[in-house]
Amino acid sequence: MQHTQDVLNYETFKEAWLKEILEGNPSSVQKGRSFARKLLTQWLDFDEENDEIIFCDGAGDGGIDIAYLQRKENIEENGADGNTWYLVQSKYGKAFAGVETLLFESQKLIDTLSGQRTNLSSISHELVEKLQAFISSASDKDKLILLFATNDPLTEAEERAIGDIKSIGTHRFGAIFDVDSINIKTIFLRQGEQEIEKPKIEVSISADLVQSGNELLVGSVKLTNIYKFLKDYQHITHDLDLIYEKNVRKFLGSGKKVNQGIADTISTKPERFGLYNNGITIVVENFTPQESGSFKLTNPYIVNGCQTTKTIWNELRKKIDNGSSGSSPELDDYKERLNKGIVVTKIVKVGEHGEGLLIETTKNTNSQNSVTQKDFIALEKGFQFWAKEMAEKYNIYLEIHRGGWEAEKAKRQTTLDERTYRGWANAFDLLKIYGAGWLYEPGIAFGKNPPFAPGGSIFKRITESETFGVRDLYASYLLLKLARELNFGRGRDFPTRGQTKYLFCFTVINLLKDVMVYAQIPTTLGDLSDAIIKVFEETDSEPAKNLYNSALQVIDDYMTQGGENSLYSEPTFTGDSNVFLKDAKLGKSDDHSPKLQFLISMQKMLIRRPIGGVAMSKAITDKIKSTENHDI
């Protein structure tokens, strides 16, 4: 079947993106809540099923519609950053009236956090107590961000109002306070390799650079000019992360020692920054020299120096752009030394269609760091290749960019794409399912995101395997689909299944592997994937029911209080099931979770025990050994 290659524009994307929010004639409160939740989850890319969001919208909300605490362990592996509270004001459609709305709602929030508003709902009152405690004990790495969620990007006047709000909030609460905004266009522009109508981004940078040939500028840029360049880029795009779109290391965060070293240098010895840092590389579609030693860069991407520039951004926002109008001898001295600090910089022109040169530049400029070739999976075949294979082989849409499925639906609804998929899944979600089941890491899968992101420890374990491929992703998709059909996830109808999606996947693989061992079927990771595909492509079949009902029995027994072999009777249980289920030792040893091990062992025996002359395992093994071709 031939598919059209029309470019998707923003208005079409926005219409499709909003469609599900408007379905069913929801109230204005429901629309605002759905709108903000969808924006927040796609922007922050957190686990919607397991991360808790506090809804305060309505009477007595105190200027907070939604509150979300992003804990440092969910940002990066072994992170050095602190925790961040996002306090969201949802301004869907006509609820947003420009500068007046921004100023009114922010003043209401600031008064609430300052204890000057007492007419709060019970939910808001409890939340505000948490926030006040957070503010009083926050470290210099913690953040409190007022986030406005709007349909479209803010205007120039609205951006200036954001700056004023930050100044007021910083004066009241210190450097912990910040203001930001997100909108549907933010998600649209993050579509990566999708065929979308992207505007050209042109940003100037003041620099001391010399040209070497037609494609290269080499030299230095002052730290303050790097900061101004990033600030101008954010002002134009409303999303600083877009400048790192081509950098596969952008998800590694600031947890590594090198990042803390960068921050310490900027903070204490900014004048020596150029001596201590390897520098950055920016690729551009084009560069044009301008007057006064500046260069206009067209569609710039930072492909080496993500950590360096992000740290510059974070540190200088706190030190010289925190909204304070005051001065001191210490600050004046720091600014003088800061003005001497430089970053060694290369700017490479790759042209409008220079993806090949861009990839090679990214690979080679990162080669001095401890990054294996597999870390560049997002730039090479990797997930882009597997996404195509998932579509062609299984007719499943594999989402590798946030909001990618929204763009795909928009294409279908506007006849830009004739294809109809039979399902979809986010690649990151599938990696967590695979890690929980195949790699026996249910605790880490439930408790942390960074190990599964590019550069993370489990991401490497998965992608550095020579055998991992599209069949494993598809098998993970089938297991995730089954878990959702069985109502696993937060807020589901079954209380035993709210926190146990990953434990269920772990249990299924455990039971399946035991059946295969006793049937003398090989049990490599690839063999397990093949078996999952055969057993669960038809979830109403006898083999599928035999396997998943046995796993459900383990989960239900384990999560039922009062049971002899429940989680609550584990010798290491300290009273918090959430903490216990997120422990990396879960399911791995008799010392940590012997009750779980016992329940799984009992189910293994029950599956193999003949009932009426036939064991449940027979239907499973027959299905696995069948020669039916299940490829689509």
In a domain, 632, yes or no: no
Same domain for 62 and 90, yes or no, is: yes
Same domain for 437 and 517, yes or no, is: yes
The set of residues, in sequence order, having a beta carbon less than 8 Å from that of 257 and lying 6+ positions away, is none
Q: In the listed set 188, 218, 252, which residue is the last one of a domain according to the structure?
A: 188
Same domain for 395 and 300, yes or no, is: no
Can you tell me the distance from the alpha carbon of 270 to that of 232, in angstroms, rounded to the nearest whole number? 22
Same domain for 441 and 547, yes or no, is: yes
Grouping H, G, I as helix, E, B as strand and the rest as coil, residue 150 is strand
**How is 215-266 classified by DSSP, letter by letter?**
TEEEEEEEHHHHHHHHHHHHHHHS-GGGGGTT-TTGGGTT-SHHHHHHHHHH
Same domain for 362 and 386, yes or no, is: no
Q: For the residues 32-47, what does the mean pLDDT come to?
A: 80
Same domain for 426 and 356, yes or no, is: no
Q: For the residues 561-578, what does the mean pLDDT come to?
A: 92
Q: For the residues 189-200, what does the mean pLDDT come to?
A: 69
The CA-CA-CA angle for residues 622, 623, 629, to 5°, reads: 130
In a domain, 446, yes or no: yes
Length of the chain: 632
pLDDT score of 248 more than 60: no
Q: Which residues pair with 348 in a beta bridge?
A: 216, 283
Q: Which two tokens stand for residue 92?
A: 């869907």
pLDDT band with cut points at 50, 70 and 90 for residue 432: very high
> Number of structural domains, the chain?
3
Angle separating helix axes 427-437 and 382-389, nearest 10 degrees = 90
| Share above pLDDT 70 across residues of the chain, in percent, rounded to a whole number | 85
CB of 411 within 8 A of CB of 417?
yes
Can you tell me the distance from the alpha carbon of 520 to that of 600, in angstroms, rounded to the nearest whole number? 20
Q: Which domain holds residue 101?
A: 10-188
Q: For the residues 282-290, what does the mean pLDDT come to?
A: 92
In a domain, 290, yes or no: yes
In a domain, 1, yes or no: no
The pair phi, psi for residue 264, each rounded to 5°, is: -65, -40
In a domain, 414, yes or no: no
Indicate the average pLDDT of the chain: 84
| pLDDT tens-place string over residues 419-431 | 789 999 988 899 9
In a domain, 226, yes or no: yes
Same domain for 131 and 173, yes or no, is: yes
In a domain, 101, yes or no: yes
Same domain for 437 and 576, yes or no, is: yes
| pLDDT tens-place string over residues 67-121 | 988 877 655 554 456 788 999 998 988 888 899 999 999 999 999 999 888 888 8
Can you tell me the distance from the alpha carbon of 127 to that of 144, in angstroms, rounded to the nearest whole number? 13
| pLDDT tens-place string over residues 156-175 | 899 889 989 998 998 899 88
CB of 431 within 8 A of CB of 462?
yes
Same domain for 54 and 162, yes or no, is: yes
Same domain for 333 and 481, yes or no, is: no
Q: What is the DSSP letter of 8?
A: B
Same domain for 159 and 271, yes or no, is: no
Q: In the listed set 142, 163, 188, which residue is the last one of a domain according to the structure?
A: 188
Can you tell me the distance from the alpha carbon of 472 to that of 389, in angstroms, rounded to the nearest whole number? 12
| pLDDT tens-place string over residues 600-616 | 999 999 999 987 778 99
The span from the first CA to the last CA of the chain, in angstroms, equals 15
Same domain for 528 and 472, yes or no, is: yes
In a domain, 2, yes or no: no
